Amino acid sequence: MHTDKPALTVVFILGMAYSVFHLRRQSEHGNAVCVPRSIRKKEPYLNLRLPLELCEHIMDFLWDDLDALGACALTCPAFAIRSDYLMDGISRANCLTSEKALNALFSDLLASKEYSRYFDVLKIRTEECTSWVTTAPLRLASKLPRLEQLELIGVFDPKRSHHNSIQHFSCFRSVTTLRLAECAFSKFVDFARLVMALRNLTTLDILDVEWGEYQIQPNLLGPSRAKKLHFTDLYIDVSIGRHGYVPQLLNWFMTTPVTQTITTLSVEIRFARDYEFLTKFLRTSGDTLRRLKVHTQPGIMREAPLSDNMQIHALTSLSSLIFDGVGLQDFSIFISILSQTSRNLQRLALHVKTPNEDDIDHDNWKLLGEFFTKNEFRELSFTLGFSILGTMIGRDEDRSTQLLKRFPVLKARTDYRPPKTWKQK
C-alpha cells in the first residue's frame, strides 16, 4: 500500500482540530453530547464528532486514491463510520509485483481485520515464478475471506514444474473468477490442476496461455477428479498461441461436467480445425448454453470441414449469438448456421469485415435480410463498413417498416443513410 503519509497527516490534524473547535462551540451553547466515562475510556474517538462536511471533503479529495481512502478509514474510526457505505460499494484490487509488496499487504492485513473486507480482487504480476508467488496463497487466504477474483499474469515458468505449488491455490476457497494472462506451463496437467484447485470457480478467462506437453491422464484429469468443475462462464483467447491450443482445451472440457453447466462461451478461432472441436463441444453441451460469442477471421469458416453443421439448432436455450470477424466469402456457410438457430434467440450481433465494396454479394445480403424479417429478435446489432444495410433490407418502404417493427432495438454502424420516411415512422 503506497500512500502519501505527510498529506494524510495534515488532513487528519486539520480534521481533528476542526472537530475540537466544533465541540467547543456546541458546549458554549449547551448542546454538547454527554458520553459516559466508561465508554470514553474504551472508545475515545466518540468524544469527537467528525463533521459530515469534512468527511465529504476527504472522500472527494481521495476519490481516485483507494489505498489512501482505506488508510483514512483505518486510522480514524470516526471517519470509518461515515464512509462505511462508500467503502462497501468500492471494488478494490491489489496488485502484487514483488515480495516486498506481498509483505506490506500481509502486514496491513495482520494489523487490522477490517482491512480485509475492502478487497475482492487480487492480481499477481511477475515475469518469473519465484518462491513468494507460491507462498502468497498460504499467507493471504485466511486474511482475505471475501476474495472473489484472482488474476495471474505471467506467473508460471515453462522451464520448471509447478506440481506442488499449484495446490497452494486451493486455499482460496472464496474465489469464483480466475483470469490467466501470458502464463506458460510446462505441461497441460499443471494448468488443469490449477483450474481444479479452485473448487468454487464459476468464471474462467484464458488469455494467451501456453503449455508444453499435452496429455490427459484419466487418473488425474478424468471425470472422477474433475466432477467438481461447474463454472458457467468460459472465455478463451489464444490469439498468439500456436495451432492446437483451442482443440486441446475444448477436448478436455468435453470430458468434464462443464458441458452441462456452462451458460456463456466466448472463443477465439484462428484455425479451421478449431471449428471442428467447437462443433463437437456444442454437440455435447446441454440446454444450459445461453450466450455464444465467436471471434474469427475471414475465410476460416469456409475452410472448416464441419462448420456448416454446428448443431446450433440443438441449443434450444441459446438467447444471444455474436459472430465477430465474418468475411464475405463465409456468408453462404454463415447463413446456413443462422438457419439452424432456435426460436428463443433474442439477440444477434454481426460484425462483418468488408475489405472492398466490389466484393459484396447482393444476393447473400438479400437472403440474410429475408431471414431477419422472418425471425423476431429483441436486439439486432451490425458493424458494417459499407452500404450493406440498404442492400440487405431494400429501399422498399413497406419492407423497411416491417423490419423496424420486428426489432425494438436495432443498432447499425454503417455509412448508409435511410430514407426520411423512416425517421417519421
Domain coordinates in residue numbering, the chain: 1-90, 92-231
Q: What local confidence, expressed as pLDDT, does residue 34 receive?
A: 36
Separation between Cα atoms, residue 385 and residue 409, nearest integer Å? 20
Separation between Cα atoms, residue 156 and residue 249, nearest integer Å? 18
| pLDDT tens sequence across 141-194 | 888 888 889 998 888 777 766 667 788 888 888 899 999 888 888 888 888 888
Separation between Cα atoms, residue 2 and residue 67, nearest integer Å? 7
Under 8 Å CB-to-CB from 48, ≥6 apart: which residues?
16, 19, 20, 23, 78
Q: Report helix angle 5-28 to 66-75, nearest 10.
A: 50
Fold of 92-231: 3.80.10
3-state SS, residue 150: strand
Half-sphere exposure of 267 (CA within 13 A, CB side): 22
Q: What local confidence, expressed as pLDDT, does residue 364 receive?
A: 64
Whole-structure pTM value: 0.67
Separation between Cα atoms, residue 292 and residue 315, nearest integer Å? 10
Q: What local confidence, expressed as pLDDT, does residue 416 receive?
A: 38
Q: In which residue ranges of the chain is pLDDT below 70?
A: 1-50, 64, 66-67, 70-71, 74-75, 77, 81-93, 118, 128-129, 160-163, 215-228, 238-244, 286, 302-314, 328-332, 339-343, 353-425
In terms of residues, how long is the chain?
Answer: 425
Helix locations, 89-201, DSSP H: 99-111, 131-140, 188-197
Do residues 146 and 175 make contact, with C-beta atoms less than 8 angstroms apart?
no
Strands 177-181 and 184-187: unpaired
In 27-42, which positions are buried (b, 16+ CB within 10 angstroms) versus exposed (e)? eeeeeeeeeeeeeeee
Beta bridge partners of 211: 185
Separation between Cα atoms, residue 361 and residue 66, nearest integer Å? 54
